[in-house]
A and B are shown apart, each in its own frame.
Chain A
Amino acid sequence: MADQGAADPGNNNNKPEASEGTIIKVTVKTPKDKEEIAIAEDASVTQFKEEISRRFKAKQDQLVLIFAGKILKDGDSLSQHGIKDGLTVHLVIKTAHKSGDGGSTSASSSASTQAGSTSASSPGTNPTSTTGSTGSAPPSTQTPNILTGFGDLASLSGMGMGSANFMELQQQMQRQLMSNPEMLSQIMENPLVQNMMSNPDLMRQMIMANPQMQQLMERNPEISHMLNNPELMRQTMELARNPAMMQEMMRNQDRALSNLESIPGGYNALRRMYTDIQEPMFSAAREQFGNNPFSALGGGSESGVQPSRTENREPLPNPWGPPNSSNPSESGGATTGGTSTTGATTNPSVSNPLGINPGNLGNGMFNSPGMQSLLQQISENPQLMQNMLSAPYMRSMMQSLSQNPELASQVLMNNPLFAGNPQLQEQFRSQLPVFLQQMQNPEALSVMTNPRAMQALMQIQQGLQTLQTEAPGLMPSLVPGGIPGIPTGGGLPTGGGLPTGGGLPTENPASPPSSAGTNTTQQQLMQQMLQMFAGGGGVGGGGSATTQTPEVRFQSQLDQLNAMGFINREANLQALIATGGDINAAIERLLGSQPS
């Protein structure tokens, strides 16, 4: 019908003539604003667009109308789509940028293609660059670049007129990855990534494509030899896939390295090795991958044997907790403490060395030189603790753990130490809320960072350890209830009182006081230590629910007596207990009972 008012382009929005259809008011909404447009009910989309182009000052072919998820095509009519009075139609005005976007899209995609095209053998390299349509490309056809999952994003940001430079984007990714370990694990879990990583040829090609790597390989033929060893590659990739294992590896490697350090001349060798091989390798790998899954390679052949070891502990190793059974060596704890914080899940025991000790002590692992040196390192290097504790994810981890006791208990229970000791688990579980509270307690944290406090704690442990070795039968008898205070005082946490503290000491006498130095008693002893921590209630505060074993309390006195020549520790201790810590009286007692 030619005289349909709405069809007349010369007409204003106020179409006076409405022959067949009534005028409806349709809201047209763009991202930036919206307008109400009156149009005939039975108008076609074309007519509608004419109106809109007038109102929005845009060309008709730039207009894209969307209603209820459908694109309104020119040939349709409004009523066909059910557009009625008062409804809203969405409008997108295509900018002239569109072709430019497509251009930059393919530019950034092709950049990613280049980066990934080193793997010439990879199938279907990035068809997104050819199609130019960004998000709709199915991920399975993307390049096996490690960041392939984000290939679309690369083009996205290019389209967004931002960093079309793929390298820059990659760096952004890396930064995010670094700060967000979960993302890394998610990337790793991406089946595409896993596929790629399980293909050693691919990986090798990718590595070799990096010019720095090539330089490196020229200088050090061993590296290329390593790269060519498929077994090693596979292991390394297995490693990279499993962040926990990787941490384990790195820890082992660090330990081994520091072992080397102690060999005469070894330090130089180490240094040489590092500067020659590791450094360029690190930087090369980092540039390409963002983290260094091949640190194992750079570490020299000694680490070659280690990848086969499977992890035997929770993701975040506990530097003060039980060293794993395969740890014969010492030190390296500082670095492990540093490297191991990248885990996504951590173990509160990291911050509370004595917390997990019940099991330790019971197993005697606590006495391993590794532990001791670790502790020494910690106390010598308060900065380390500080760093660890202030790592942002550490804090949030602890917070979340304290808020989620089940998670924490799960994490802890999985600790293989506890696995075989249900009683301990129970005890631990009951104290978990307090523990976690402790983690939150800034004082507790400050203890950890206070070197003197740490030293004091270490002394306690040493005292216990000595006692254990010298007088295993003594332990059970040293368990009276509720002895408050501690000589080393200082910054001990004074957190909330422990409600169950009273319960534990009573358990102890009930436990068989066998002189075999049973695990249970020792653990319970440590439990008491724990109580002391958790329920301190102030230094020397009487009547608190904490327990304090006498030998700890009398540590300094014992030492003095020892120095004086009273070598019978057991007797010393009993004397001290009898005299309540008075050295002189104790000496008299001892002398009285000994032939002079």
Chain B
Amino acid sequence: MDQSGSYPVKLYIYDLSRGMARQLSPLMLGKQLDGIWHTAIVVHGKEFFFVGEGINSCLPGGTPLGEPDSVVGMGCTEVPAEIFMEYLTALAESTYSGDKYNLFEHNCNSFSNEVAQFLTGKKIPSYITDLPSEVMSTPFGQALRPLLDSVVINPGGNNITGQR
């Protein structure tokens, strides 16, 4: 195992609304949201993200969302793939199992944030993690909250534990 290697870590950011949030948010929410962000961490040649069924992985850009809207380099990590998978498996058994998914509090972005910190010590850009609170601070968001709480984003990929 090569521990002195350095593996680049990237953050893939997708806009789930495909640009519609940017256009419609001032109208609907009263404030400008540039997108509904879904993020995934790309490291060791794979993309990892947290969804309704747990932590999933796929080839980078391999979800039906296609190519990310933007890619942020998070730096490099020394963590080799094996250790990383152990870490993810442990996460998947504890705080990031599928049933823990919550669109606002504990979603893909929280996962990406945590993993990014684990891998590189850095957090993901704050505009992503602030999104839920931004939405909640609007009357519209609050009204929609019960509905949104039941929404689970599931853009594909394979569950890392092989379970569904």
Contacts and interface: CB of A to CB of B under 8 A. Distances in A.
A69 B94 contact: no
A160 B160 contact: yes
B161 A160 contact: yes
Given A69-B79, A136-B81, A157 B161 contact: yes
Interface in B68-110: 75-91, 93-95
A156 B3 contact: no
Interface in A171-206: 172, 176, 180, 182-183, 186
B16 to A, nearest CB: 12
Contacts of B87: 31, 90, 92
Contacts of A88: 117
Contacts of A64: 79, 83
Nearest to B45: A135
B152 interface: no
B161 A98 contact: no
A70 interface: yes
B162 interface: yes
A246 B21 CA distance: 36
Contact of A186 (B43, B45, B62, B159): B62
B14 to A, nearest CB: 14
A135 B41 CA distance: 14
Contacts of A269: none
A149 interface: yes
B66 interface: yes
Given A66-B118, A67-B121, A31 B160 contact: no
B126 interface: no
Interface string B97-141: 000000000000000000001111110000000000000000000
A391 interface: no
B127 to A, nearest CB: 22
A30 interface: yes
A387 interface: no
B54 to A, nearest CB: 10
B3 A133 contact: no
B66 to A, nearest CB: 7
Given A159-B85, A162-B163, A183-B156, A152 B119 contact: no
Contact of B82 (A70, A93, A98, A176): A98
A314 interface: no
Contacts of A160: 85, 89, 160-162
B contact residues, range = 35 or more
Nearest to A32: B94
A186 B45 CA distance: 16
A568 interface: no
B119 A69 contact: yes
B157 to A, nearest CB: 9
A73 B1 CA distance: 14
A153 interface: yes
B62 A138 contact: no
B9 interface: yes
A136 B85 contact: no
B61 to A, nearest CB: 8
B92 to A, nearest CB: 8
Given A69-B76, A163-B162, A92 B90 contact: yes
Interface in B44-70: 44-46, 57-59, 61-62, 64, 66
B123 to A, nearest CB: 11
Contacts of A186: 59, 61-62
B151 interface: no
A31 B62 contact: no
Closest 6 CB pairs of A and B: A162-B162, A68-B121, A31-B90, A135-B44, A157-B162, A135-B81
24 contacts: A31-B93, A31-B95, A32-B94, A32-B95, A69-B75, A71-B3, A134-B85, A135-B43, A135-B46, A135-B84, A136-B81, A139-B45, A149-B59, A157-B162, A160-B85, A160-B89, A160-B160, A160-B161, A162-B159, A164-B162, A169-B162, A172-B158, A183-B62, A404-B18
Interface of B: 1, 3, 7, 9, 18, 20, 43-46, 57-59, 61-62, 64, 66, 75-91, 93-95, 117-122, 156, 158-163
Given A31-B90, A133-B82, A176-B156, 19 more contacts: A31-B94, A64-B79, A68-B121, A69-B78, A70-B77, A88-B117, A90-B117, A101-B85, A134-B81, A135-B85, A136-B44, A153-B57, A157-B158, A158-B162, A160-B161, A180-B156, A182-B66, A403-B20, A404-B18
